[in-house]
Amino acid sequence: MLAEKYREQIAATLAKYPADQKRSAVMPLLYMAQSEYGYVTKEALAEVAEIVGVEPTQVASIVGFYSLYYDHAGGQHRVQVCTDLPCALRGADKFADDLCAKFGIKLGETTKDGMFTIEGVMCVAACDKAPVFQAQNKEGIVYHENQTVESAVKVMEELKGKK
C-alpha cells in the first residue's frame, strides 16, 4: 500500500504541517494515491484517512468535491467539460454532447480504445471563455478555452499521440 511504497514522501508531506494538523495533508496524499493507482481506490482512501487521522467519509467528501480526483477508473486522459450554468449558457452542454457523439460515447463514459473519458464537471473558473475543458492525465492538467468540437478533437488527437 501507499505507506510502505511511499514512506519517505508521506513523511515529507506530513512534515510540512503542524503535528496536530495532519489532516491538511489529505490533498497531496490523495494525489499520490491517484498517481499510483490511476484513481483513488477505496483502499487508498481508507489509508489516507488513517494516515491523517480522520474518518474515510471526510476524505471521500474531498474526492467527491474536487474534479482533480476521481473515484473510478477511466481513460488515460480525462476530458472534463465545465457544464455549470454560466458555461451552459455559452453552449457547454451542446459542446459536451456533440464532443461525446463524435467519439460514440455518452458523458461520463470512456472511449473504446481506453484513451479518453469525457466528463461534465462544475466550474473550472473560466465561465467567460466557455465552452472550456480541462484535460487531465499523469502529466497534469491543461485548460482549453473557447473550444469548438473541432478544436477539442484536435487537442485530443495530440494527446492520443503522446500516449
Using omega within 30 degrees of 0 as the cis cutoff, is the peptide bond preceding 86 cis? no
What does the pLDDT look like over 143-160, one tens digit per residue?
999 999 999 999 999 998
Strands across the sheet containing 116-121 = 116-121, 77-82, 133-137, 140-144
121: part of which helix (H) or strand (E)?
Answer: strand 116-121
Given a cut of 80, is residue 114 above it in pLDDT?
A: yes
pLDDT band at 97; cut points 50, 70, 90: very high
pLDDT in the model for residue 161:
83
Task: Give me the pLDDT at residue 96, please.
Answer: 97
Beta pairing partners, 119 = 80
The confidence score (pLDDT) of residue 137 equals 87
What number is the average pLDDT over the span 6-27? 95
With 0.85 as the threshold, say if the pTM is over it. Answer: no
CA–centroid distance for 73 within its chain? 11
| pLDDT reported for residue 163 | 58
Average pLDDT for 43-61? 96
Domains of the chain: 2-65 (1.10.10.1590), 77-162 (3.40.30.10)
In 3D, which of 113, 150, 119 has the Cα closest to residue 135? 119
What is the four-CA torsion angle of 81, 43, 34, 66, rounded to 10 degrees? Answer: 40
Q: Residue 81 and residue 100: Cα distance in Å, rounded? A: 11
